[in-house]
Amino acid sequence: MNIDLIFGKTTEHLVHLEGTRFFIHQQMLHDYLKLQKAAREAGFDLQIVSAFRDYDRQLSIWNAKARGERPLLDDLERVLDYSKLSPTELLFAILRWSAIPGCSRHHWGSDVDIFDAKTQTVDQVKLIPSECIGSGPAAPLHEWLDQKMAQNEAFGFFRPYSTDQGGVAPERWHLSYYPISRRVVDVFTFSLFKKHIETSDMELKEIILENASEIFERFLMRFDLP
């Protein structure tokens, strides 16, 4: 496997999703369209709000949060006071919702964030838990997806962050295509992760390296399986 694929530094694995601005892994396209068709037949308009994200885009998101230029949320969707966080607290607050540049599953082309375009416009989507449960606008879509996944009828898609395992916060909107993401996880070792951080230029780099083992185990390798 091309190591640049892991870190979001190549687009050779991608194909443009017709009618959108998004790119996904070419081997995922057929099954994504099947999932979208099944959702449409069930009365939903399953659409993507975020798909492939390259390293530079993830770096800009990460650095903006580390500098207090983007809001940081706690687990109850409340805005944290950036000025009151130590560097280590800041690091782990960011990691609950955003991946380190080069460590996002969105780099792989196998992972997408979705919503129901029948109940929200793309500009209304915030990607917060309350949108996907209870009376949230995407809740019915996700209840349908729950059933499809339980019946093994989701065409290879699953939620890697369905439950809270102490790493990434639950993200019902985040779908991963197992045939591809599994292969990436199999070759994404701690040594690759640490070398990547050591050779990168990003905010909070030294704190990341000080906590490298915990970050790798909690935020990269701890996720739900199909």
pLDDT in the model for residue 198: 97
pLDDT in the model for residue 54: 97
Three-class SS string for the chain?
A: CCHHHHCCCCCCCEEECCCCCCEEECCCHHHHHHHHHHHHHCCCCEEEEECCCCHHHHHHHHHHHHCCCCCCECCCCCECCHHHCCHHHHHHHHHCCCCCCCCCHHHHCCEEEEEECCCCCHHHCCCCHHHCCCCCCCHHHHHHHHHHHHCCCCCCEECCCCCCCCCCCCCCCEEEEHHHHHHHHHHCCHHHHHHHHHCCCCCCHHHHHHCHHHHHHHHHCCCCCC
Give residue limits of the domains in the chain: 3-220
- Tokens coding 83: 């000025």
**pLDDT tens over the chain, length 226 residues:** 889 999 999 999 999 999 999 999 999 999 999 999 999 999 999 999 999 999 999 999 999 999 999 999 888 889 999 999 999 999 999 999 999 999 999 999 999 999 999 999 999 999 999 999 999 999 999 999 999 999 999 999 999 999 999 999 999 999 999 999 999 999 999 999 999 999 999 999 999 999 999 999 999 999 999 9
Q: What are phi and psi of 176, to 5 degrees?
A: -125, 145
- Tokens coding 152: 């093994």
**CATH 3.30.1380.10 is held by the domain 3-220:** yes
pLDDT in the model for residue 8: 97
d(CA 85, CA 93): 9
